[in-house]
Amino acid sequence: AQRVTQPEKLLSVFKGAPVELKCNYSYSGSPELFWYVQYSRQRLQLLLRHISRESIKGFTADLNKGETSFHLKKPFAQEEDSAMYYCALLVGGSQGNLIFGKGTKLSVKP
């Protein structure tokens, strides 16, 4: 079955602390994974994708096929990072569609 699991509904950290938002997936094909972010009163927007291997706003995510994970990390959290974070998996090849996890709310306290 195709599935994305984000085990934490809420993650609360202090400013400057490291952050790791967990994402695990289940997919028999070659996975293509994304992190989307939704700041308060803003639209859902792409944060990063694993194929780009980039760092956006200090966040990185590495695809670990052995552990079927795509955890999102940032070494030093900032208050402006507070938002909902969604992990998503593209399935279906050329007609592929995104399957989303339930999301994790990150709260960064001053």
Q: Quick check: 31 binds another protein (CB under 8 A)?
A: no
Between 16 and 96, CB nearer to another protein: 96
In the region spanning residues 81 to 110, those forming contacts with another protein, defined by CB under 8 A, are: 86, 90, 92-103
Choose, by CB under 8 A, the member of 32, 68, 82, 107 that binds another protein: 32
Structure tokens at 82: 């507070």
Q: Quick check: 43 binds another protein (CB under 8 A)?
A: yes
Report which of 89, 93, 55, 98 is spatially closest to residue 75, judged by C-alpha positions. 55
Between 75 and 92, CB nearer to another protein: 92
Q: Are the CB atoms for 33 and 90 separated by under 8 Å?
A: yes
Burial of 53 (0-12, 13-18, 19+ CB in 10 A): exposed
